[in-house]
């Protein structure tokens, strides 16, 4: 292809360059692009703005430009990035997060930007607008940036783009994090919640003593409990409708069922006597529904209990509710206040760590984990009543 020099002109206070390009279908089309600098001052001649013209025409004149680079970012994400990469590589939970970030915050702000024309300044302005109008915290804004960065990385891997990822240097706007995201239940709040009727009381007790995530509580089955430990084999999140949408035929658990993300997340959790007694009493109340392959906390139809409904109907009326993750943070906070070392707390919560040495060390602290949970049990001073008939599952 003959090297292009472009047709340069100014109109009002702006410089423009007109040139020919190839669209995603291979058709040659004429385009007009505004230069970065305004007409006037030191930028009054073509020679003065030539570097900015060269910047635009260089990819075209190099002969290495992929026609797909003129594809709209929205088209690339919807037809290539999400279906051909994200859906095949990520777990359903991560897939939903990716789709929500794209549809709720980024897609409508992308406009007619193409892969090739997207610049760092566009990403900067986009995140600033999301922060101002969507009121997201820094963590959510990082997810937005990570999504965009991942899309452009994939375009580079496919040979559509070359050069530096334009999202790499996009900054995260400074915004306050929502207080609710870091709330930890204290011992007094946990005692108040333990006044709720069964089976909510046993659910609260399990969450407070194990630090299990909401999805892990829903995924517990009776064969995961041996009287001394709880083993985490799966997590269940979302609804049956969502499970069918993400993967048809996968809603047998009433939601999206996954194995734990990491080996550390699959570790066993020590069960203190008070919790073990409460679970055994719950088993008696469940009767025939307490089958090895059925959820420990179920709605009576063999599917996991809807914990959000349970919290709204039973727990929230007696105590201020800050979500199920507050138990997990509360466990860490309360154990720390009792003098338990941080590595033992990390092992109980099954957190991963970037330090290989720390991960190896933590494998040898099982006895201290049990001792730490006993300390928390004694501090709460919980006494379990004997199992009583008549308390059935709650929908």
- Tell me the per-residue pLDDT of 366-377, one tens digit each, with 9 for 90 and over: 445 555 666 667
Identify the band that residue 278 occupies on the pLDDT scale cut at 50, 70 and 90.
Answer: very high
Picking from 32-41, 136-145, 325-334, which range would have the lowest pLDDT averaged per residue? 325-334
The predicted pLDDT at position 387 comes to 46
Helix (H) or strand (E) holding 91: none
Mean pLDDT of 162-176: 89
The predicted pLDDT at position 200 comes to 94
* Token pair belonging to 2: 């003959």
Identify the band that residue 268 occupies on the pLDDT scale cut at 50, 70 and 90.
Answer: confident
- Tell me the per-residue pLDDT of 49-93, one tens digit each, with 9 for 90 and over: 999 988 888 777 765 567 788 889 999 999 999 999 888 887 766
Identify the band that residue 350 occupies on the pLDDT scale cut at 50, 70 and 90.
Answer: low
Q: Give the residue with greater pLDDT, 96 vs 84.
A: 84
Cα(252)–Cα(265) distance, rounded to whole angstroms? 23
The predicted pLDDT at position 366 comes to 46
- Tell me the per-residue pLDDT of 109-138, one tens digit each, with 9 for 90 and over: 999 898 988 989 999 999 999 998 987 888
Mean pLDDT of 290-302: 85
Cα(330)–Cα(274) distance, rounded to whole angstroms? 18
Q: In angstroms, how far apart are the furthest CA atoms of the chain?
A: 91
β-pair type (14-22, 28-38): antiparallel
Identify the band that residue 381 occupies on the pLDDT scale cut at 50, 70 and 90.
Answer: low
- 232 pLDDT above the threshold of 80: yes
% of the chain beyond a pLDDT of 70: 76
φ, ψ dihedrals at 253, nearest 5°: -95, 10
The predicted pLDDT at position 356 comes to 26
Classified as helix, coil or strand, 357 is: helix
Buried b (16+ CB within 10 A) or exposed e, 11-35: eeeebebebebbebeeeeeeeebeb
Mean pLDDT of 17-43: 84
Cα(115)–Cα(151) distance, rounded to whole angstroms? 10
Cα(255)–Cα(241) distance, rounded to whole angstroms? 7
* Token pair belonging to 218: 């829903």
Instruction: With both helix axes pointing from N to C terminus, report the angle between 366-380 and 273-286 in degrees, rounded to the nearest 10.
Output: 80
Q: Which of 290, 344, 118, 330 is nearest to 207 (CA)?
A: 330
The predicted pLDDT at position 361 comes to 25
Identify the band that residue 394 occupies on the pLDDT scale cut at 50, 70 and 90.
Answer: low
For the chain, the distance separating the N- and C-terminal CA atoms, rounded to the nearest angstrom, is: 69
């Amino acid at each position: 292809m003959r090297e292009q020099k472009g047709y340069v002109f100014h109109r009002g206070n702006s410089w423009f360059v007109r040139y020919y390009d190839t669209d995603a279908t291979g058709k040659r089309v004429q385009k007009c692009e505004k230069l970065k600098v305004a007409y006037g001052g030191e930028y009054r001649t073509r020679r003065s703005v030539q570097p900015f013209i060269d910047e635009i025409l260089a990819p075209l004149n190099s002969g290495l430009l992929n026609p797909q680079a003129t594809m709209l970012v929205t088209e690339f994400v919807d037809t290539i990035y999400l279906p051909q990469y994200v859906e095949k590589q990520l777990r359903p939970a991560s897939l939903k997060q990716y789709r929500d970030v794209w549809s709720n915050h980024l897609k409508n702000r992308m406009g007619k930007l193409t892969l090739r024309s997207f610049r760092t300044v566009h990403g900067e302005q986009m995140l600033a607008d999301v922060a101002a109008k969507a009121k997201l915290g820094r963590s959510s804004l990082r997810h937005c940036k990570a999504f965009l960065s991942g899309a452009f990385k994939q375009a580079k891997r496919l040979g559509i783009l070359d050069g530096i990822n334009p999202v790499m240097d996009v900054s995260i706007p400074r915004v306050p994090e929502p207080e609710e995201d870091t709330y930890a239940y204290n011992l007094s709040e946990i005692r108040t919640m333990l006044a709720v009727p069964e089976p909510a009381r046993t659910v609260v007790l399990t969450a407070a003593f194990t630090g299990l995530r909401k999805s892990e509580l829903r995924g517990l089955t009776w064969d995961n409990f041996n009287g001394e430990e709880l083993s985490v084999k799966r997590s269940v999140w979302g609804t049956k409708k969502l499970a069918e949408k993400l993967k048809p035929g996968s809603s047998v658990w009433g939601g999206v069922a996954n194995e734990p993300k990491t080996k550390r997340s699959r570790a066993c959790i020590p069960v203190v006597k008070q919790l073990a007694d409460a679970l055994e009493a719950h088993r008696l109340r469940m009767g025939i529904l307490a089958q090895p392959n059925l959820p420990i906390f179920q709605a009576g139809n063999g599917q996991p209990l809807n914990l959000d409904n349970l919290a709204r109907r039973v727990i929230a009326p007696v105590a201020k509710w800050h979500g199920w993750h507050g138990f997990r943070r509360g466990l860490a906070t309360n154990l720390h206040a009792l003098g338990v070392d941080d590595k033992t707390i990390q092992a109980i919560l099954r957190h991963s760590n970037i330090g290989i040495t720390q991960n190896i060390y933590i494998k040898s602290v099982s006895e201290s984990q049990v001792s730490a949970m006993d300390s928390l049990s004694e501090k709460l001073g919980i006494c379990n009543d004997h199992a009583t008939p008549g308390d059935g599952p709650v929908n």
